Amino acid sequence: MKIILIIIFSAIILVQANPSLPICNVNTAKQAIPPRIFYEQTIDGKDQNILLTRFLHNKIGIYASEFGKCYANVFDPNFIYHLLGAIGLVTWFYFVYLIAKRRLYPIIAILAVLPMLPFLKFSPLPILLIYKLFAIIGLAFLLSKPK
């Protein structure tokens, strides 16, 4: 019975349409810097200490913020939901919990590095496939969990 359920739910996870990620990469991050830095430094004005202005509104900070935005897109629950469906989303999270609990550092590293692909303008296809795989493995573990 469990095997049948795993097969059915895996099929559901696999047939979900692949959603597209928002366009967010190294180029968009670079483009965001000049207008933001100009605008933010202008508002700070001449009266504020230049060091404080530079400290608060600098290229590195803005670039990091843009990078964070791109990175976060890959972990957006809505992206995962549209990719895997509601069941897939739950089993994906269960899988993540399991790898953290069992301290499977290589898999944790893969999970952490994956969002770099679209940021560096590579195809996001590996993310889609690996997430589906993670969800199915999570499903198998969840259903085969002893009571």
Residues in the site for other proteins, rule: CB under 8 A?
40, 43-44, 48, 56, 61, 65, 68-69, 72-73, 75-78, 81-82, 86, 89, 97, 100-101
Of 3 and 112, the one with the shorter C-beta distance to other proteins is 112
Residue 45, sorted as left (phi over 0), alpha (psi -120 to 50) or beta, turns out to be: left
Query: 33: closest CA among 69, 73, 60, 68?
Result: 60
| 8 Å CB contact between 16 and 128 | no
CB of 69 vs other proteins, minimal distance in Å:
5
Of 78 and 144, the one with the shorter C-beta distance to other proteins is 78
CB of 57 vs other proteins, minimal distance in Å:
8
| 53: Cβ contacts below 8 Å, ≥ 6 apart | 41, 44
Of 3 and 22, the one with the shorter C-beta distance to other proteins is 22
CB of 121 vs other proteins, minimal distance in Å:
20
Q: What 3-state DSSP class applies to 82?
A: helix
CB of 68 vs other proteins, minimal distance in Å:
5
50 φ, ψ to 5°? -60, -35
